[in-house]
Structure 1
Amino acid sequence: MTEQTTLPSPADAPAGPPRPWKARAARRVVGQAQTLLDDARLLTTADAGLRERVRDAYTATREVRVHADLRTVGVAALEDRRKKLRVAVLEKAGFKHVAQVLVAGTDRLVEAGIGAGTAKLATSAARELAADVDAELRFRIDVDPDDPYATVLVQSLYAFGLATDARHRHLDEARRVTAVVPGHLAPAALATSVWRRLVAPADRRVAAFAALSALADQVAAARLTDDARAVRAAVGQPPDGAEVWADFEARSAEYYGLLSQVVDLGDDHEAAEGGLPADVVRRVEAQPLDRTLLRANLRGYQQFGAKYALVQRRTILGDEMGLGKTMQSIAVAAHLVATGGTHVLVVCPASVVTNWQREVEQHSDLTAVVMHGSDREKAAAAWLDGGGVAVTTFEVLGRLDLPHDLRPALLVVDEAHYVKNPETIRGREVRRWADRADRVLFLSGTPMENKVAEFKNMVGYLQPEVAGQLDPNADLSGARAFRRIVAPAYLRRNQEDVLTELPEMVQVEEWEQFGPVDGAAYRSAVLAGNFMAMRRAAFAVSDAADSAKLVRLRELVTEAVDGGRRVIVFSYFLSVLEQVMDLLGELAVGPLTGSVPVPERQTMVDALSDPDGPSVLVSQITAGGVGLNVQAASVVIFCEPQVKPTIEAQAVARAHRMGQTRTVQVHRLLVEHSVDQRMMEILGSKSALFEEFARQSEITDAAPSAVDVAAPSETSLSRTILAEEQERLGRTP
């Protein structure tokens, strides 16, 4: 890891007479230095103890799950394991199910009047059954604050995450402090006592003052104090259960990432490796990953993906949507900057610029610079001088005034299928930057194996020698030969293969920015005092290209459909539904509105389930959000935030319910600095909006109010937001 600060050692004492210290000041500095040493030692050791706490909590939670399953198995099942076992004896003694036998054990069975031989046979058979159930158990943390075992596990993971992050962030500093401070504490102690200073020889006083100065420098340079305080609090007192559950809902992937560091979750390691050849896997696994600047816990497959990009240098990461390609890219960037790199360049569609900026700032200590819009040249100059992660668009890339000899440590191209034609202007610009970058990472969740010609073009940007081995006319989809050829340049994993716990929902906030046309429509709605027009202004365009939300909607639908997924698009507004239908054309069925008779609504749903039918159902949220089961869809897109969180909960429950076999992805289309942002802030974060979804999908149908979270009325909400937006845009009502 890279060093963070340069701290003096005893040999580094400054020349000349040291500063004289008063006894009171000396005691204060020694006390601060001792606290700093304690903090440093805590950060280098706390994660080990918390790791054991997580393991114990996981074992207890898993055992409870196994016992719960065994309570549904009658003792008669033990006879299948031990033919000589007399089950009637157990039943007569009051043992009805296997869990009772397992908990009792041999001794308590004997105490209940069962013969020793029968007790031993029953116990051994029960243990075998328990082992079988345990082996088949797909462990998942269900959101249930009333489950004390799961709560302890989530609390333990939260504390372990704090300790792990702090250790990675401050390990170099902590090691230096623990190596240097103890050597100064002993000589400095002399200066804390007036009497000892008076009777001590002059050379010892000089040494004491020098040690105090060194300790003061250590304390002044310390950066680990706040994190150490947080870790100490988490170690000593479990964090509040409700707060931790809310955090788990917002960051469940990171919690599973932490858990996978402690226990074996049964991950398919071969799937995580994307079926790569053994020699490539060995090189990837040997690659270290510096996490000093990263503020996120990666899943095993994500660590592998980041290392793969580092080892292979010029690659395509083709993971299915929802597996965290952005996070893996940030991990690569954080490693490169931590190990000496300075400039990282991200090129992406305009619709995801804001998302990139937010993700970089949220999950790393890297600086994000947006080179887009009217200030792009100023931003480019700042990036050139200060480094960090610059985010720009395909259209702006060629217009930036940057030195021709600038060699970024990493070039990331998001939605890389945008440059599948290298002869386009954007294709030529990407190639120009790819040729000069030290490493290049293309991201695309769109499966490419069935489009060999396009895939060959993309690989050609990165590793022409690999592209030259691909026959663009061959059908190499899924073929072992194809995987072997592209292994140096292409890694793809699917959700079902690497997310063994299959989290029930992956929630994504798709933050966009207004362009000239939709922005003008929004401003007009605000100045007119029309709250409803403000909510649908992002779609008030005649050309879909002028709507940031419609552009992103098309990208999401295209990626989902190419990945074999079905989609539901929800909006409150009929005019928005018509816009979406016009955009998607034959891909979509609908719109399903309140005026559509119930039998016809089901016909639309059935059409979505037809393998040869449409891929998207477009529905008014107040109509399709209640009463229909749409298990065929696993991607849900909300065109705008809803006033009542319950409405969204009911809508998601159409796809997110019993019978759904795929992880449900929920995307919200949102615009920064607009009514969307204010609604999200007032109504709460996505974790608050969906607080009850995972455990309430069934009771939602019976009692919608049971999952309604407190929210302001539509009238008060509209009045508040309208006033604030009018003030922001320069008009006081």
Structure 2
Amino acid sequence: MACRWILKDNHLAISMADGIYFPSASNIVSARESCGNVYINGCECGSPELDIPDLKFSRFNCTLKVELACHNNDFTLSPYVEKNGNRWSVILCQGKIIDSIVVENRWFFISNVDEFQEVFDEVDVTSSGTISLSQYLKLKKFNFERPLFEDNVDSYSLLKTPNDGSPLNGLGLNATLYPYQKIGFEWMAFMLEQTHGCILGDEMGLGKTLQIIAILTLEKRFDRGPALVIAPISLLDNWVNECRKFSPTLKTLIHHGSDRTGYYKTFMDYDVVITSYSTLCNDIHFMNMICWNIVILDEAQNIKNFDSERAEKCKAIRRNQSIAVTGTPFENHISDVLSLLEFIQPNIFNNAKELSEQYSDDVNGGKQIASFLSTLMIRRVVTNVSNDLPAKVEINQPIRMSREESERYISYINEIKQGDSENISIGMFTNLRMFCTHPFIVSPEKNEKDPCNISVKYQRLCEIMQNIIDCGEKVLIFTSYVKMFELMKTDFINRWKIQASEINGSTPIEERQKIVDAFNASDKSEILLLNPRAAGVGLNITGANHVIHYNLEWNPSLEAQATARSYRNGQKKNVFVYRLYYQDTIEEIIQNKLDEKKDIADVIVTESNTIHNKKLISEILNKLPI
């Protein structure tokens, strides 16, 4: 079959009866050097100059370049060569890069096609133009290992997802998302659709949980099966409460404790299953009997250690989609981030530990990883979105006691029940409240050095504190008991090398303002421990923008006055107020009364300090953490 040579899209091609064929450079050279005709792809061809007399052949080669770009969330791949100050597009035909080009009637061999072709084959790139985000990420990873591509993607442009037809419309959330939360939700929905995984890295206090609940509600709409949330023990109940509050149609189950289900099909009856890292490690084979639609890691820095059991088990979960949620994506080493990337993108980072050896654990390595991370993570800090936030952000943190704590708490309840139920004083419940601050306060453990190992509530306090310290900010912690002051001061210096200041009833009046002045003037992360009665009025402590009420007070005005030490005129930052309390204990009853805005001290206590409100007594004695 006779054919003829033509120019097509800057390339030499052969026009055949059934279409156009792009020969390789070696085919073209053979046709030119042959004394007669040659057969190329079944066609008899002569020299290209016979059909294109003006065509010249250069003895010099040219070099292929490939640009990666993004516009309106459409990713593109553009191979080209540069000649005479201009760009000339190179096409792919049936997945193969054409290895020659014609520029201004001069033919050039493209010398470096093979190295790009190898990558394109692995990533399944078959044509120039539009590529998927997943393909872009794989190409970007290759670029780290061997720089080939011009990556001109502005990762932050991915945050500008279209508002029209937002998946948030009609979702039915019992909340109005702040503008930045709406962006975060829409970005995560886009990333899950495109790549099946991402990182929500917003700073503490910006409502990451609500954004995730919006995603879980969206997933429920598609009926894709149950979601799994893995969180520290201290946050399990908070997840349930937040789901009930913001998306009551979500059916939730806490899978934790000795009474947890042993039948995997039970999970299929729920929209969201919530478990702890430790429970997952124990139940991984059982929980892998289904494939989860989406797995959420809360406080995902828990898997930063490649070799830890929890990291290994979390990455082994069968799942379709993954989100890592953390306010501190980078803590100490490059490997911290790579471990998160391996969780959210296992098909790309299938051996992040090996990959970490390719990057220096310093600023240069950090810059390389940051370039990749910016595509897969959305992170906002308070200073960036402060105009969206209210001046005071209140965060309730309900916490579930461990089994050991629950058993001891119940024993105190039983002691009270054995007494005179007609003359129960506030003081008789003091042991309950003190125990809720920390078991060490009522019964020191001589062989236990880390107070986090004994109290879930204290563990949550330290998690919050770590985030505050990482941000270089200051915090006020209000607690009522001297022994808790002592425990915190000793532990904080061991844990963070920070000497906490304190103001309580024994602090001389003339010293209190000096302590406050030094605290406000410091430019470092600082901790100030305060008794709400001794330091709840008169002091201006606007140097702190975090307030933690570690144990709640009967009198709501006492708490309000304590919060006002930071949230007052002169405060230049958004103030975050945390209330930590144990569910199904006397602390939850206090919290409920605070929500009702009742001054419990006026309502239930007589001058003799005796509680005559039998309904309240019964409520306290029958609220058991089991």
TM score, norm. by length of structure 2: 0.63
Q: 1:522 aligns with which of 402, 409, 428?
A: 409
In 2, Cα distance between the equivalents of 1:496 and 1:717? 47
| Gap change, CA 1:376 and 1:614, over 3 Å in 2 | same
Q: Is the 8 A contact 1:354 1:512 kept in 2?
A: yes
Is 1:277 equivalent to 2:175 in the alignment?
Answer: no
Residue 423 of structure 1: which of 282, 307, 311 is its match? 307
Q: Where do 1:161-200 residues align within 5 Å?
A: none
Q: Which residue of 2 aligns with 1:498?
A: 385
Against the structure 1 CA distance between its residues 283 and 626, is the aligned structure 2 distance closer, same or farther, given a 3 Å change threshold? closer
C-alpha distance in 1, partners of 2:404/2:502? Answer: 25
Match of 2:510 in 1: 599
Name the structure 2 match of 1:331. 214
Q: Which amino acid aligns with 1:342?
A: G
1:509-548 equivalence runs, <5 A? 509-529=396-416, 530-538=428-436, 539-541=438-440, 542=445, 543=448, 544=451, 545-548=453-456
1:277 partner letter: S
Is this contact kept in 2: 1:517–1:547, CA < 8 A?
no
**Given the alignment, which residue of 333, 338, 343 partners 1:461?**
343
> How big is each residue's C-alpha offset from its partner over 1:469-489, in whole Å with a ceiling of 9 and x where there is no partner?
98342326996x665421221
Are 1:651 and 2:562 matched, yes or no? yes
Which secondary structure does the structure 2 equivalent of 1:536 belong to? helix
Paired position in structure 2 for 1:95: none
The reply to whether residue 299 of structure 1 matches residue 178 of structure 2 is: yes
The residue type paired with residue 176 of structure 2 is N
Aligned in 2, Cα 1:382/1:717: closer, same or farther, shift over 3 Å? farther
CA contact (8 A) 2:476 2:546 kept: yes
Rg larger in structure: 2
How far does the alpha carbon of each residue in 1:54-85 deviate from its partner, in whole angstroms, 9 at most, with x for none?
xxxxxxxxxxxxxxxxxxxxxxxxxxxxxxxx
State the identity as a percent.
25
Partner of 1:109: none
Q: Is the 8 A contact 2:584 2:623 kept in 1?
A: no
Q: Which amino acid aligns with 1:487?
A: S
**Structure 2: stretches of 5+ with no match in the other structure:** 1-152, 417-427
Confirm or deny that 1:444 pairs with 2:326. Answer: yes
Once the two structures are superposed, the pairs formed by residues 108-127 of structure 1 within 5 Å of their partners are none
Q: Deviations over 1:359-405 (max 9, x none)?
A: 11221111011001122125854223x13100000000122253635
Residue number among 442, 467, 471 corresponding to 2:359 in the alignment? 471
Quote the RMSD (CA, aligned, Å).
Answer: 3.0
Deviation at 1:508, TM superposition (A): 1.2
Measure, in 1, the Cα distance between the counterparts of 2:289 and 2:166. 29
> How far is the alpha carbon of 1:647 from its aligned partner?
0.9
> Match of 1:262?
none
Moved more, 408-417 or 569-578: 569-578
- 8 Å contact kept, 1:637–1:667: yes
Q: Say which SS state the counterpart of residue 375 (structure 2) adopts.
A: coil
- What pairs with 1:619-638 in structure 2 (closer than 5 Å)? 619-638=530-549
Assess, with a 3 A threshold, how the Cα gap between structure 1 residues 635 and 329 changes in structure 2: closer, same or farther.
same
Distance, in Å, in 1 between the alignment partners of 2:156 and 2:506 is 59
| Equivalent in 456, 467, 481 of residue 559 of structure 1 | 467
Label 1:607 to 1:459 Cα distance change in 2 as closer, same or farther (>3 A).
Answer: farther
Does 2:272 align with 1:389?
yes
Cα deviation, residue 584, structure 1: 1.6
Determine which of 366, 391, 400 is the counterpart of 2:250.
366
> Which residue of 2 is the match for residue 724 of structure 1?
619
Determine the C-alpha separation between the residues in 2 that align with 1:708 and 1:723: 15
Q: How far off is 1:657 after superposition?
A: 1.0
Deviations 1:215-257 (A, max 9, x none): xxxxxxxxxxxxxxxxxxxxxxxxxxxxxxxxxxxxxxxxxxx
Contact 1:343 1:388 in 2 (8 A): yes
Q: CA deviation at 1:502?
A: 4.0
Map 1:680-691 onto structure 2 (within 5 A).
680-685=591-596, 688=597
1:548 aligned partner, one-letter code: V
Relative distance call for 1:679 and 1:527 in structure 2 (3 A) is same
Residue in 2 aligned with 1:50? none
What do the CA deviations read for 1:439-461 (whole angstroms, capped 9, x no partner)? 11111112528743322222232
- Structure-1-length-normalised TM-score: 0.55
Written as runs of structure 1 = structure 2, the 5 A alignment for 1:27-176 is none
Matched, 1:409 2:293: yes
> 1:504 Cα deviation (Å)?
1.9
Note if contact 2:545-2:576 (Cα within 8 Å) is conserved in structure 1.
Answer: yes
What are the within-5 Å matches in structure 2 for residues 195-210 of structure 1? none
In the TM superposition, what whole-angstrom CA distance separates every residue of 1:611-653 from its partner, at most 9, and x where no partner exists? 4656211121111222221111111111111111111111111
* Residues 231 and 276, structure 2, Cα contact 8 Å, conserved in 1: yes
Aligned counterparts, 1:177-256, within 5 A = none
1:609 equivalent in structure 2: 520
Q: Can you list the C-alpha shifts for 1:676-697, whole angstroms capped at 9, x where unaligned? A: 1112223434xx37xxxxxxxx
3-state SS in 2 of match to 1:360: helix
| Alpha-carbon contact 1:408-1:437 (below 8 Å) kept | yes
Residue aligned with 1:341, SS: coil
Tell me whether 1:309 sits opposite 2:209 in the alignment: no
Whether the 8 Å CA contact 1:284–1:304 is kept in 2: the answer is no
Q: CA–CA distance in 1 between the matches of 2:225 and 2:398?
A: 27
1:528 is paired with a residue whose SS is: helix
Q: C-alpha separation between the residues in 2 aligned to 1:297 and 1:729?
A: 34
**Equivalent position SS for 1:488:** helix
CA distance in 1, matches of 2:414, 2:326: 40
Change (3 A) 1:729 1:549: closer
- Which residue of 2 is the match for residue 488 of structure 1? 375
Count how many residue pairs are aligned between Structure 1 and Structure 2: 433
**Structure 2: how far apart are the matches of 1:302 and 1:379?**
37
Query: Structure 1 residues 634, 375: CA separation in 2 closer, same or farther (over 3 Å shift)?
Result: same
AA aligned opposite 1:514: M
Q: 1:341 aligns with which of 209, 215, 224?
A: 224
Structure ranking higher on relative contact order (CA contacts 8 Å, 6+ apart): 1
Equivalent position SS for 1:439 = strand
Return the alpha-carbon distance in structure 2 between the equivalents of residues 656 and 603 of structure 1.
20
User: 1:519, 1:718 → 2: CA distance?
Assistant: 27
Seen in structure 2, the aligned counterparts of structure 1 residues 729 and 438 have a Cα distance that, compared at 3 Å, is closer
Instruction: Describe the shift of the 1:403–1:418 C-alpha distance in structure 2 as closer, same or farther (beyond 3 A).
Output: closer
CA shift in 2, pair 1:472/1:408, >3 Å? farther
Alpha-carbon shift at residue 540 of structure 1 (Å): 1.9
Change in Cα spacing, 1:594 to 1:305, as seen in structure 2 (3 Å) is same
- For the Cα contact (< 8 Å) 1:508–1:668, is it kept in 2? yes
Q: Is the 8 A contact 1:293 1:335 kept in 2?
A: no
The CA distance in 1 between the partners of 2:209 and 2:547, in whole Å, is 20
TM-superposed CA distance for 1:709, in Å, is 10
Alignment of 1:571 with 2:450, yes or no, is no
Q: Give the drift of 1:280.
A: 2.3
- The residue number in structure 1 matching 2:605 is 713
Deviation at 1:329, TM superposition (A): 0.6
Structure 1 contact 371–392 (Cα < 8 Å) conserved = yes
CA contact (8 A) 1:463 1:489 kept: no
Name whichever structure is richer in strand by fraction.
Answer: 2
Give the superposition deviation at 1:282. 5.1
Q: Letter of the 2:582 partner, please give it.
A: V
**Which residue identity does 1:289 align to in structure 2?**
P
How far apart in 1 are the matches of 2:208 and 2:409?
32
Residue identity in the other structure for 1:577: F
- Maintained 8 Å contact 2:231/2:277: yes
CA contact (8 A) 1:637 1:668 kept: yes
